[in-house]
Amino acid sequence: MSGNIKNLKLELVKEEIERYDRQLIIKGWGVEGQKRLKASRVAVVGVGGLGSPAAIYLAVAGVGELVLIDKDVVELSNLNRQILHWDQDIGLLKVESAKKKIQKLNKNVKVETIKEEINRNNIIEFIRGTDVVIDALDNFRTRYILNEACVKLNIPLVHAGVYSFTGQLTTILPKRGPCLQCIFPRPPREIEKFPIVGVTPGIIGAMEALEAIKIITGIGTPLVGRLLIFDGEDFTIEIVNVQRNGKCPVCGGK
């Protein structure tokens, strides 16, 4: 359960009770769980193939504030997988394109946009005060920067990556499990233009949203210390146990 959520005195209005009716009857969720979502602030770093479904499902679940971080503009080649962006959005900033759709999906969600590439000088400012961060990036250089910031600020980080028909997912709770640097001490080989079928980030991005919702509501067991590996070609899911590295330069011994 996230311990950073503020404003739990927020009340649900009649419209919200009706909108989230099917969630409210989930065991352990109820009004208090929905209020936790309403009071939460989640950062989605990267608003592409993974970030689109993650942001959609966080918005329709009733997360109170979304922070969308991405510097890129929509291109035609994005449209096979980045479902928040449509033909008429080509040339627009991805964060602005996404914001328009999300506000139509759920007018009660506040959306903040940050049109910059993350680096070690700005990431702390961008994610400070958030309850969960979604890693929807496409390279390990910026993932490592995001991981370091989340460890420093003690913010849960949900990591995912995709390639072709495969995907991976894990949740990092600083001080309670391994961080991204523990799991991947050296960055995998990066491919500038990697193959991807749009369904794969759709599945994995939705899983990222589910992990964030679990952390916020306190329901279920997040993938801490476990790496989920999904293979869509033969539809298998493997769970690999991963450990903290006591000598990790990011989180070891902290």
Q: Which two tokens stand for residue 119?
A: 């680096």
Say which DSSP state 164 is in: B
Residue 163, amino acid: Y
User: pLDDT band at 3, cuts 50/70/90?
Assistant: very low
User: pLDDT band at 189, cuts 50/70/90?
Assistant: confident
Domains and CATH numbers, the chain: 14-241 (3.40.50.720)
CA distance 108 to 105: 9
Q: What is the pLDDT of residues 139-155, one digit of tens each?
A: 999 999 999 999 999 99
Packing angle, helices 94-105 and 51-61, rounded to 10: 30
Going by C-alpha positions, the residue among 61, 199, 69 that lies closest to residue 136 is 69
pLDDT higher at 202 or 192? 202
The whole-model pTM stands at 0.95
pLDDT at 216 over 60: yes
pLDDT higher at 89 or 9? 89
Q: What is the pLDDT of residues 116-129, one digit of tens each?
A: 999 999 999 999 99
Question: Which residues neighbour 215 within 8 Å (Cβ) at sequence distance 6 or greater?
Answer: 1, 2, 131, 132, 156, 158, 171, 173, 222
H or E element at residue 56: helix 51-61
